[in-house]
Amino acid sequence: MRKITFCFLLLLAIGSCNTPVKKSSPEVQTNLDTLLVLRNDSVTLSISRLGGAIVGFSFNDQQLNPLDWKILPKDMPENNRMGAPFQGHFLCIGRWGSPTEGEKQAGIPHNGEPANNWWKSNQDTISGAVTIETEAPLEHWKVKRNINLSASQACFEVQETITNQLNTGRFTAIVQHASLGGVFLNESVIVNSNAGAGFN
């Protein structure tokens, strides 16, 4: 059995990654989105510019994608239907869950603006690294994701920089919303995690 390792790191303003991408391809257009696609000899990694989500990670010789979970636009919270769908592994910055009624009226979406926005892309064809970023004008956040696929292994690294654009400090929610779904989930799947007790 082959093993896929997800390497998610939340790092603030840390230096460059040591796992350069071996091969990269240009953006792939779909009917509602633009995907950035990274490949090495083992795996393919796909990142959506609509919401900044990591939506595909699969071995090149098979179709199984553990990150194919996606909510259809009609099933999204009402205040999010004009933006990105919740899908794959996405970020909740500013909040996790529903805003208050007053925040909804001000235009704040469910799970924060970055998960709902279009992300700018700067694909460096020399190093193969992909950088995507977005701003949250209502909540005053700037978020950058540097994504690096291992040159040969089924592993990738994500470095995130989150900038508070206000001149005062504040509390916020930062949630790594990794959702596994589709044919990946069945009675034979075992998920090992070092997560401890949660809270509500």
pLDDT single digits (tens) 131-178: 999 999 999 999 999 999 998 899 999 999 999 999 999 888 899 998
The end-to-end CA distance of the chain, in Å, is 36
- What is this structure's pTM? 0.79
pLDDT for the residue 9:
41
Report the sign of the C-alpha dihedral through residues 167, 51, 156, 40, in that order: negative
| Sheet with 5-8: strands ordered across | 5-8, 155-164, 141-149, 130-136, 120-123
**Cα 79-83-87 angle, rounded to 5 deg:** 105
Q: Across the strands, what pairs with 176?
A: 91
pLDDT of 64 reads 87
Residue 178 host element (H or E): strand 174-178
Q: Which residues of the chain have pLDDT under 50?
A: 1-25, 126
Q: What is the dihedral of CA 103, 107, 108, 111, to 10 degrees?
A: 130
